[in-house]
Each structure stands twice: as structure tokens, then as C-alpha cells.
Structure 1
Amino acid sequence: MVVLQLQQHSLISNGVSRYPFATPPFQRPRNLSFQAQAIPSRTQRIMESLSVNGEVGGAGGAYSYSALKRLDQLWASICSAHTVVQEPQQVVSSVPGLFCHSDLADKEVESFDVLVCGGTLGIFIATALCSKGLRVGIVERNVLKGREQEWNISRKELLELVEVGILAEDEIERATAASFNPNRCGFEGKGEIWVDDILNLGVSPVKLIEIVKTRFNSLGGIIFEGCSMSSICIYGDAAVLKLADGKILSSHLVIDAMGNFSPVVKQIRGGRKPDGVCLVVGSCCRGFMDNSSSDVIFSSSSVKMVGGSKVQYFWEAFPAGSGHKDRTTYMFTYVDPQPGCPRLEELLEDYWDLMPTYQGVSLDELEILRVIFGIFPTYCDSPLPASFNRVLQFGDASGIQSPVSFGGFGSLTRHLGRLTTGMPLPNIPVA
């Protein structure tokens, strides 16, 4: 909505009328000056009233209104594209010959068995490989730390981290902020099913990543924080990373853990538009009196028009570990990216209307702690096959994901054991 404020030239000068008549003579209207001022949306007012701590890397690590607008701009560019969103930068290139004979060899800072690009989730596979006696480094463009918003997962899935040797069972307890049962699944008019031990733990990413980071460092791993990967050159004997600050690192293998929007994945897919996208919005609020169970998936309404698209909203809700009345609720939907798709801010406007009814509480009774949002692209040709020698995709970058848990941490735990034992290290055959 736009408010137009009109300003007309004054008929009074120094307190004296410019016309001695009661009614000024008819005159052609002078030019009017217009000032257009947009009224902030409810979402903007809410988000700008919140105190946002330092944002971190990884999905869900940003909470500010400016971050929401940036993501909406990216989403709009995806929707408006025909087939290619943007011609991707050529990050990975093959270079004939051996690195040890190249001019860059003298500039090499350090060499590794494995380099992991993207540390928020990459720290887990990096630590698993480091525990096998490999020399492992992590390149992370931000400070390597977890987000405030909890990860929801089952204990069975967390025990996968114990089995690969990167966590002890007592450390699971230290990182677990909330535990709850039972958990509801339900669809409009189709009844409800209650289950136990499904996504029933709230794990603190801040605590968990700090525990694993300490383990990684104690095993001799090296973290390059605040460093962006600029390019990867593939030689016959090594993969060579050039960092934005000019550092040169070499490795037998590079693991791309940079998520859905990895520049390497963009190059592999040729910047192609995703086939589908999951849009997610939500919040963590304080003030829920009935807060002992969760919703794994719930839908209380049928298809509706939002923007130029038909959408059906689904919900998740979990008790949060920050307080006994704190609860996280997510609203998500699946769309084909095309012109007219709703923006995340539009979904949030619906969310503020629908969430109180869904949870049986008034929004005025809640203290909003943080607002959550994200987009999760999907492709028909997934998982993504390896496209370069010595470069492998991991986690969301690989396209291994679930339509309910979206990938991320939950997907990682299910595949970590298989991936760490299946990598041919350190003697990687050259194709």
C-alpha cells in the first residue's frame, strides 16, 4: 500500500493573503509535488522491532528484515527466469599436468588430504575424516558457529554421529536443549496420528557445532575462518583452492558443503532454474501455555491463491529449549518457480494471520523472539553426480534431501557413515 502526500504552493506569504478577494481568482493549477511513502508491512514492523544478534552461515542463520528482502530478491529472480537464472561463474577448471610442476606450487600455503568448503555442516564430515587420521582443512567464509534456532531431530539420528566417532553420548545430552513426546501428524478432515520419538529433540546448533569444532581442532584439523573460496583448479595430482585473500591450498580431495546455492553446483547445473522450491516461514515465540508435544506435519486448510499461485500450507511446531513457554512454528508450501509465485514476505503476512488460529493463541499474547524464513530448491536429476575429478558434493549441495526435513542437518546424519567409509582416501585414483 502506498500513501500519497500532496503538497500545494501556499496562498499565504508572510501572513498576508496573496489575493485580497475572499476567493482567489481561477488559475490554472500549478504543478503539484508528490511524495510517495510506503507503509511498512506487519512483517517489517515486527522484524525491525527485534534485536538481531550476529548472523551466521548456513540455512536459517539470518533473521533480519534486510536478509529477508535479499532472499526475496533472489527468489524473484529465480521465478522470472525462463530456464537459466544467471550464467554461472566458472569456479572449477581442469589444468593439464601436475601441480607439483606448476608455478603455483611455490606459493602453496598448506597441503591436505581433504579440504571441506562450507563449515556449518561441513564440520561434521570433516571431523569424521579427521578421526580416521587424515589431514583435513575447512574453508568457511564466516565465523564457524551454529545458529540460534534449534535443529529438530530424533535421538536415533543423533546416535549416527556417535557411531562415526565424532560425538560421545554424554555430548548429545549437553547439546540437547529440548525433548518432547508425543508428536502429531494430521491433514484436514482426515484425522490425526500420534507418534513417539520422531523429530522429538531440539538440538542447539551453537552448542553442538562448538563441541564438534573442539573435537576437530584436537584431532589436528585446521579451520580457515573468514575466507572465501575463489576458484578450484584440478591438476593430475591435486585439487588447488585459491582463496579470495590470495592463499593457495592444495588437497587430494575437495568436498563441497556450501549448500543449495554452492557456486560449484551452479556451475555443474549451468545456472539452471530449479524444478521445484519449498518456501518456509515461521517464528520462535514465547507465551505458549500448552507446550508439551509437537507437530511433525499438519495441514488444516486446502489450496488457496497467494499472489498468482495456488498453494497449500503445511505446518510444523516444536517446543523450544530456550524456555518452557517457547515454541517454534513453521509454515511451508511447495511451488513451481514461475512469475506470480508468492514472496516470502507475503507468506509471512499470511502466517501472522493463520498461526494464532492453528496454535489456539492470540498473537498479542506472544513475545516474538525471532522470525525464520528460507527457500529450498529441488531438481529432478538428484542426487547430483560428481562432475569433476577430486570434487564431491556433500549434504544439500549434493541434492540429497527429504521433502519434509528439506535436507540440512537431519539429512546429513543419515548419510554420514556411508559417505565417510566410501571415500577412496588418501590415494584417490586419477580418471
Structure 2
Amino acid sequence: MLKFQHLQWQHPINGVSLSHSSLLRKPNGGGGGITRPSTIMCSQSSPTRTQRIMESISVGTEVGGAGGANSYNALKRLDQLWTNICSAETVTIPPQVVTSARGAFKRSESSGMTVEDFDVVVCGGTLGIFIATALCAKGLKVGIVERNLLKGREQEWNISRKELVELVKVGIFDEDTFEQFIAAEFNPNRCGFEEKGEIWVEDILNIGISPAKLIEIMKERFRSLGGIILEGYNVSNICVYDDSVVLQVSEEKILSSRLIIDAMGNFSPITRQIRQGRKPDGVCLVVGSCAHGFKNNTTSDVIYSSSAVQKVGQSDVQLFWEAFPAGSGPMDRTTYMFTYMEPQPGCPTLEDLLESYWELMPNYQGVTLDDLKIMRVVYGIFPTYRDSPLPAAYNRILQFGDASGIQSPVSFGGFGSLTRHLERLSSGIYEAIDGKFLDSNSLSLLNPYLPNLSASWLFQRAMSAKQQPDVSPSFINELLHANFQSMEKLGDPVLRPFLQDVIQFGPLVKTLGLVMLTKPGIIPSIFKQVGVPVLIDWSGHFVMLGYYTFLSTFVDPLIRPSINTFPPKMKFQWKRYLDAWKYGAGLDYRL
């Protein structure tokens, strides 16, 4: 059984259009030329079709956040980073961005630099502006530090209206504002696997929103609440004191804050320091384009597979598709091709995948490239770690969004994940600041163990192609079709939470049970595909998913009425435990 979402990209099952800009940074910069696998060398005198297409497209200014760059040079930089990840045999310790100092911060030691004080400083503004605005609305003084311009990209994010409503609950704006940034709305939405049958659903990823318009609205709202935005500043030196955390943004300026929120994405320099340069456990590679010339353009594909496992470069891959009408015009459509894998030498580069994309996309969409005008090329690398979400490693510093690893390891849905957790996190962060519970142990309660997130790991492994001689190349499609077919039979209470990127114990048990009853022959292939150690590990998370469901359903109602009588720190801790049970069991979701 599987799950997707569209992450800045947010892909199948709940998300945004595409995300790669956070991966373009080293800690905070670009880098170098491209290194290609030896079997796929491109002559400098013979540019690839990808290079020719991308260099023929007008490219605007690169901005921060997901999808903030889409030039060929940016593609080469990202492929260089990806190649380095795949080829790394030893851990490379990243630069130390965060240091600790004893005692209180003394302004007299700031050597005449300007010191500006905040309650919260958010590093990384594209998604960070949402938590920043929610905290501003609670009366805190909040600043945002952004390396580039704080500006949304042109490529749309896809999400459902149900998820957008979550932003209303935290006081960011009201529903009347939606129409200002909704660029497209469409139904129905398809899920299909290698001509084995299709499932059509309504209101899943069926809204395309304009990040450019949304971020502009958010900036106005943030500033109206007293928020301050600092653009063009890198995050390279943070010092944690007993009474504050200090960020030096230039030779003349220092920001002193009670808390720093790290919203700098998957390759945040702070996150890299915490993980000590460890290679990701899994990766989703995404490529695609937005083009003009699609005549049949009223429906979307949430997830679609048109073929069995095939070879791209040196690796076997299972390719998936999704497609959405674009808001720029009635004949404009965005199509994505993605695959899951473990980073290792020989993995295809993004340019390799794009070369396959140009060959396969026309047949998938029933068009020819000559009929299309390519307006944008999109691409992304989405890494994930099994030990996620990431607990706070330092006092007064908290990871948020993709930097925390709270997005699904299958969906990588940054924006959709943000909307689901924003109310919980904004309330918890405010209470931590108000109660001065800013030590790493207290902050870690805001990024707790979530068994439904950890259980998603099996799904990613099941969707990653492996060279197993006794497993059919069509196995992944057969497994997906069996799961989706079973969920459809079980109805909306089972199917819709999954399509909204929520794993719940009851629906999961029903789906697995029905699959085993109707497709028992597929079980041995599951063991071979994912491996016994992964299944044993997953079984533990499955048990904990049931346990958290029990705690949230039966124990929470006994504790919650008395929680306001607890001492302040105990009250803070128990509210976080109740949140962890609820969200870890997926019970925050309601039809």
C-alpha cells in the first residue's frame, strides 16, 4: 500500500508541484559542474535534448524555496550534488554552523555591530513564512532570514481545498482570500497502474495554487502583523547562549532571538550538521515540464504507471507519472515523472531521467513534442531519513517543515504536511516560548516520534525497483493496483485518508487484510522486494500505530479535562504527548 503527495513538489497524494531549490544549496550556495556516470557521457559538442530544450526557454530570476530555479545550469548543479551523494563512501563532516557558549549573551562583546532583538527568527522563508505569520498572529516579534528574494516560483503547487482550510484555523487569512491565489481547479483525479484498471476520485490535489501570489499575500499579512523580512542573507554562524540564540547575518548586523526556527529545507546547513553528513536512506527523483498544447486537459493524474520496471542509465527503475492542468491557460498542463531509489553509485542523474521523460511523456499524454510549446522544465531530489522527524539537537533551535523530516517518505509533501501540522506546531512553539521551555528536550516534543510516518517507510521500499531475479518486473504495479483496488472497495473512510497522505491503523488493517485475502500470491514477492529486516522493523511501527490509536481514542479523553491543573512544564509536556498520539495515529484527519 502506498502514499504520495505533491511536495513543493508535493507529489501523489497531497501536495505541491515540485521542489528542488532547497537541494541546490550546499549549505547556502550553488556548486560546480556536473559529474556523469561513465556509461552515459555527453559530448560537449553534442548537447542533449534536455540541454537544447532548456536553453531555448527564457528563464527568470532564481528565487528561494521549492522550484526557485529551473535553468540548465541549475540542473547541472543539482546533478553534481546528487552524484556526490550517490558516490560518497565515507561520511563527510559538514561545516559547523551552530556553536554553543556558556553564560548570557553580552552586547558589549558584539564589537559595535547592530543587534536586533526578536522572539523568533525563522531561517528560510518560502515555507517558513507560514509558521512565522502564525506566530506573529499570536503577538510574538518574528523575523525571517532568506538567502534569496522571498518570492514564490511560477510553477503551481497542487493541494486540496480541505488542506487549505487548515491555514484559516491558525489565523493566517480567511477563506475569501483563497480565490486570490487559486489558479486552477479540476476534477476528477485518476490513479492507474500499467493498464490493470483505474480508480477515479474527486477533490484530491485538484487545486493548483500560484506560489508567487500566495507568498506575496503572506508577505503582506506578515508585515501587517509587525513581522520583519531580511532578504539576501546567508545562515553561516549561529551561537547558542543560555538566554538567547545569536545569528550573525552580516559584518555589521546581529540578530538575537529567544528561538530560531530552521525552515531551510532538506539540505539545511543546521540539519546537515546534526546528521553529520550521513547519506539519505531513500530518495525520490522527479522531472517534468509545463507545456502548452494539450487539448484534453480537464482531469488530473494523482499517480499513474504505464510500464513495468525498466532501465535508465545503469539502474533499474519503476517510473511513475502525475499530471495536472495548469492555471496559465486551458491548454497548459504540467506532467511529472518520478522514481524512488537508494542513493548509490550508478543511479541515474536528473538529466538521464529527463532524456527518458522526453521519450516517454508523449505516449503517456497522447501528444507529440512537436505539438507542444515547453514553457518550463522542473526537476527535484527529495531525500529522506528513517529517523524522522528530527528531534531538536540544540537548545533554542527547532527544525520545521522539510528540515525536520516530517513529510512522508513516499509523498515528500512539504506544503501539504505544513498545512496539517501548522496549528499543532504554532501553538506548541508559542507555549514553549511563553513558558521558557526552550531546552532541546522540550523542543524535541514538538517533533515527536510519529508511528504512521515511520510506517510509511515500507511503502517507499516496496515502490523502489530492485534487481531481484525471482520478482516480476510488474510486481510494483501489481502491488499498487491490489492496494488501491482494495481501498476502493472499502470506501471513502479507507481510501480518502490515504489519498490525503494520512496513514491510520483501522484503514491500514482493513486494506492489508483484504489484499491478503484476494491476492495471497503477492505476499512472497513482498518479502523478497523489501527484505525481512525492513518488514520486522515496520512491524514495530505498525504495533505502535495501533497503540497510539488506542491512547488517543481512550486515554486522551481521561487526561485532557485535567490538563489545565498541571504545573506549567508538566502541562506543556502532556499537551505535546496528546498531540503526538493524535497526529501519530492520523486521527487529526476527519472526512
TM-score normalised over the length of structure 1: 0.89
Q: CA deviation at 1:83?
A: 4.1
Separation of aligned partners in 2, 1:192 and 1:92: 50
Aligned to 1:382: 388
Q: Report which stretch shifted further, 175-184 or 187-196.
A: 187-196
2:206 is matched by which residue type in structure 1? N
Which residue of 174, 183, 194 maps to 1:177? 183
Whether 2:416 is the aligned partner of 1:410: answer yes
Aligned to 1:138: 144
User: Could you report, residue by residue, the CA deviation over 1:378-429 in whole angstroms, capped at 9, with x for unpaired residues?
Assistant: 1111111110000000000000112453132121111111100111123423
Q: 1:105 to 1:391 in 2, by over 3 A?
A: farther
Q: 1:319 to 1:390 in 2, by over 3 A?
A: same
Q: Is the 8 A contact 2:119 2:257 kept in 1?
A: yes
Q: Pairwise mapping of residues 189-338 of structure 1 onto structure 2 (< 5 A)? A: 189-338=195-344
2:341 is matched by which residue type in structure 1? V
Aligned to 2:158: 152
User: Could you report, residue by residue, the CA deviation over 1:269-328 in whole angstroms, capped at 9, with x for unpaired residues?
Assistant: 001111111000000000000000000011111111212211100111000000000000
Whether 2:82 is the aligned partner of 1:53: answer no
Separation of aligned partners in 2, 1:129 and 1:116: 10
Q: CA deviation at 1:105?
A: 8.5
Q: CA deviation at 1:37?
A: 4.7
Percent identity for Structure 1 against Structure 2: 71
Q: CA deviation at 1:430?
A: 5.2
Separation of aligned partners in 2, 1:343 and 1:425: 44
Separation of aligned partners in 2, 1:316 and 1:245: 46
Aligned to 1:428: 436
SS at match of 2:117: strand
SS at match of 2:119: strand
Separation of aligned partners in 2, 1:203 and 1:322: 11
Separation of aligned partners in 1, 2:157 and 2:44: 39
User: Could you report, residue by residue, the CA deviation over 1:163-210 in whole angstroms, capped at 9, with x for unpaired residues?
Assistant: 111122111111000000000011114311101111000000000000
SS at match of 1:229: coil
Q: Is the 8 A contact 2:120 2:141 kept in 1?
A: yes
Q: CA deviation at 1:244?
A: 3.9
Q: Is the 8 A contact 2:259 2:438 kept in 1?
A: no
SS at match of 1:166: coil
SS at match of 1:172: helix
Separation of aligned partners in 2, 1:168 and 1:82: 50
Separation of aligned partners in 2, 1:255 and 1:211: 21
Q: Which has the higher strand share?
A: 1
1:47 is matched by which residue type in structure 2? M
User: Could you report, residue by residue, the CA deviation over 1:350-388 in whole angstroms, capped at 9, with x for unpaired residues?
Assistant: 000100100011111000000000100011111111100
Q: Which has the higher helix share?
A: 2
User: Could you report, residue by residue, the CA deviation over 1:104-155 in whole angstroms, capped at 9, with x for unpaired residues?
Assistant: 3963421000000000110000000000000000000111110000000000
Q: CA deviation at 1:103?
A: 1.2
Aligned to 1:98: 104
Q: 1:259 to 1:37 in 2, by over 3 A?
A: closer
Q: Is the 8 A contact 2:121 2:259 kept in 1?
A: yes
Q: CA deviation at 1:344?
A: 0.3
1:142 is matched by which residue type in structure 2? N
Whether 2:116 is the aligned partner of 1:116: answer no
Separation of aligned partners in 2, 1:311 and 1:212: 39
Which residue of 168, 173, 177 maps to 1:162? 168
Q: Is the 8 A contact 1:227 1:245 kept in 2?
A: no
Q: Is the 8 A contact 1:405 1:411 kept in 2?
A: no
Q: Is the 8 A contact 2:261 2:397 kept in 1?
A: yes
Q: 1:37 to 1:414 in 2, by over 3 A?
A: closer
Which residue of 62, 67, 70 maps to 1:63? 70
TM-score normalised over the length of structure 2: 0.66
Aligned to 2:349: 343
1:51 is matched by which residue type in structure 2? S
Separation of aligned partners in 2, 1:245 and 1:144: 22
Structure exhibiting the larger radius of gyration computed from Cα positions: 1
Q: CA deviation at 1:342?
A: 0.2
Aligned length: 395
In structure 1, list runs of 5 or more residues that go unmatched: 1-35
Which residue of 109, 113, 117 maps to 1:107? 113
Q: Is the 8 A contact 1:99 1:105 kept in 2?
A: no
Q: Is the 8 A contact 1:282 1:331 kept in 2?
A: yes
Separation of aligned partners in 1, 2:294 and 2:237: 48
